């Protein structure tokens, strides 16, 4: 089946599910089947402490015995930074990156942000250069070499193997 045929089939099945969901809520409950469906219905209405609605309910699929509901959550992001006049979003402890948010280094008396393995760059977090004897920071985009050795290998006769 061609790709556009699969997309059309998917769109069609989505609208069929929507129509069936509308019909299920518009008809009065019947005997056994309707009352069971009414018992299975789930209502997900999450509100913040101030009463602001956080998520919406979307009917996803209806089978013979039960109504299944999928919660479609709005992504509000994190809270605003607690520092006055800062408009950025907070990471941890309510602070943005600029004001000290994020995971802290696990080394004693270090206040820097952790890069990986719970440590900052100075205390062993992140990758190191693959060149023998070099202990500088390295990245995937430079093939695990520091910027200096990556430039030397790129410009010189040695070839970087990807």
- Residue 108 to residue 117: CA distance in whole angstroms: 15
Nearest to 130 by CA among 100, 98, 161, 156: 161
Give residue-wise pLDDT tens across range 85-144. 888 887 777 888 788 787 888 888 888 888 888 888 888 888 888 888 888 888 888 888
152: confidence class by pLDDT, cuts 50, 70, 90: confident
Per residue, what are the HEC states of 1-70?
CCHHHHHHHHHHHHHHHHHHHHHHHHCCCCCHHHHHHHHHCCCCCCECCCCCECEEEEEEEECCCCEEEE
Q: What is the pLDDT of residues 39-84, one digit of tens each?
A: 444 333 444 455 554 444 433 333 444 444 555 555 555 678 888 8
pTM: 0.37
Residue spans per domain, the chain = 3-73, 77-121, 126-162
């Amino acid at each position: 089946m061609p790709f556009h045929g699969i997309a059309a089939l998917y769109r069609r099945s989505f609208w069929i599910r929507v129509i069936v969901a509308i019909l299920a809520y518009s008809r009065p409950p019947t005997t056994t089947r309707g009352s069971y469906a009414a018992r299975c219905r789930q209502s997900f209405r999450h509100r913040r402490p101030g009463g602001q609605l956080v998520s919406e309910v979307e009917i996803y699929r209806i089978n013979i015995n039960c109504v299944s509901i999928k919660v479609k959550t709005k992504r509000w992001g994190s809270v605003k930074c607690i520092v006055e006049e800062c408009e950025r979003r907070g990471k941890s402890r309510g602070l943005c990156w600029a004001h000290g948010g994020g995971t802290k280094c696990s080394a004693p008396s270090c206040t820097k942000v952790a890069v990986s393995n719970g440590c900052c760059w100075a205390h062993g977090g992140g990758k190191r250069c693959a060149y023998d004897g070099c202990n500088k920071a390295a990245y995937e985009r430079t093939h695990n070499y520091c910027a200096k050795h990556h430039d030397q290998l790129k410009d010189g006769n040695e070839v970087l193997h990807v």
